Structure 1
């Protein structure tokens, strides 16, 4: 007998997607087979809703938990839940992060990923002369090309007038020491925010109490599904709460040792269609 989840939740980067950030045809087919057996499929990602749509090519997921749970969407894209960062805190965090030259974005409820123009220019000036692996990795970073640029003063005015709703700050750098500096600088807001990570090279600041699991509970309540009937696939720190609470916790082979310790099952590597392999070996072909 195979496993019997009623809801399967998938992290994207490092889990559902391969190293080229693609949902392969093999993975799509396996997920459809699972869905046809009556299991609800939910994306559970740190991405904004808009960014989450890019690699899935209109795959018919039953729901979306985005921005690590700060926003929740029905299958048709209707937002049914949002948790916001305080705008004054966001403004203070921007001014703090500007003390170093690093990559950061502000994610809002409309799926915009904002980057401060002056800081982008500083970063680009540094990269012109940077031939190190660090500089090359930033140039290759896909989100760098997709972020919307806004002058600092304009963003601060938008925040002061409540003209934007920010759900997440995303900070990226290949230097772990600089990321540790970021974490230290964010400590004063620990009572108001949740600090997590979706990979070795980033830090993410979310509203307090927000997690992928809290977002998934919306769908559990909607469909009458118990936590022990939920299967969660993940690979990173921002999957911790969901993996800890779900009845079927599946970590990817490429996950960190700390995340693997939370799992009841280990799926093959994300770049080997690990999700598809697990679904077929443990669920659909065991019927």
Structure 2
């Protein structure tokens, strides 16, 4: 029986740049009302999730945030990992001279007005990614000396520039790794940190097993989590590697494929049956 549903956000639960639809919120409530916990497993953090869920906090009371750097259960954080300031400074120094590359840092404590800092970049350059990935940012010359729970790297110019960025960061800051959830964009993570690495924290807190968890995803940063649970689900727009790794498949994010599946999960939880998408 499924007791916990985790879903990636961008291009899984919602198309990139959009907010959660009323129908998807309804589907999440159906799951919660059926006694199944729901939460995001995402690179996004609390403030961004507040915006994407249109302030429906009940939809993300539990989940894996910031690619595993924060774990939330029933409205409280049970685990938080910060990115050391000196490591972010070294990233900035390493990519500062590279055209089209810049660092964006997300503070541990923030608000809806200014949840991110674009480092060494113009307001116009930052605005492109603000609009594309749905965040509000401010421009700074240096990495502020405050606690940061997440960071990303914007990298325009195609696959060759992306590969160069990975090489630069690996050499300058070997303690970190960067993973691309969408084109031209990297998530920055401590080595060993991932959505999958933080899943056992939730399992222990809830006293459940991996076979009682179902996960939706679409991108490379979902692959490790897919390998950690038997019930992995790819949306129709998932990259080929994720589609191949998934046990089950649902409709595309633009067609609210996850919402359709959530309604089926809710019915199955009440009746003791099996969701239709798991009968493939």
Root-mean-square deviation over aligned CA pairs: 2.4
Equivalent in the alignment of 2:161? 178
Equivalent in the alignment of 2:122? 120
Measure the CA separation in 1 of the matches of 2:124 and 2:210.
47
Distance change >3 Å, CA 214–CA 138, structure 1 → 2: closer
86, 95, 98: which one aligns with 1:97: 95
Q: Is the 8 A contact 1:72 1:82 kept in 2?
A: yes
Equivalent in the alignment of 2:276? none
Offset at residue 234 of structure 1 (A): 0.7
Offset at residue 243 of structure 1 (A): 1.0
- Higher share of residues assigned helix: 1
Map residues 9-88 of structure 1 onto 2, 5 A cutoff. 9-57=6-54, 58-61=56-59, 62-76=61-75, 78-88=76-86
Measure the CA separation in 2 of the matches of 1:83 and 1:60.
23
Offset at residue 80 of structure 1 (A): 2.6
Q: Is the 8 A contact 1:28 1:59 kept in 2?
A: no
246, 251, 254: which one aligns with 1:263: 246
Q: TM-score normalised to the size of structure 1? A: 0.82
Offset at residue 119 of structure 1 (A): 2.0
Q: Is the 8 A contact 2:6 2:39 kept in 1?
A: yes
Measure the CA separation in 2 of the matches of 1:39 and 1:166.
32
Runs (5+) with no aligned partner, structure 2:
274-280
Offset at residue 85 of structure 1 (A): 2.3
Map residues 89-238 of structure 1 onto 2, 5 A cutoff. 89-102=87-100, 103-111=102-110, 112-116=115-119, 118-120=120-122, 123=125, 140-143=131-134, 146-152=136-142, 155=143, 158=145, 164-176=146-158, 177-188=160-171, 191-238=174-221
Runs (5+) with no aligned partner, structure 1:
128-136, 159-163
Distance change >3 Å, CA 88–CA 67, structure 1 → 2: same
DSSP-derived class of the 1:15 partner: coil
Offset at residue 20 of structure 1 (A): 4.8
Offset at residue 189 of structure 1 (A): 5.4
Measure the CA separation in 2 of the matches of 1:283 and 1:80.
26
Offset at residue 140 of structure 1 (A): 4.3
Q: Is the 8 A contact 1:213 1:245 kept in 2?
A: yes
Equivalent in the alignment of 2:277? none
Offset at residue 138 of structure 1 (A): 5.1
Measure the CA separation in 1 of the matches of 2:259 and 2:192.
31
Distance change >3 Å, CA 19–CA 107, structure 1 → 2: closer
1:8 and 2:11 are equivalent in the alignment: no
Q: Which has the larger displacement, 225-234 or 92-101?
A: 92-101
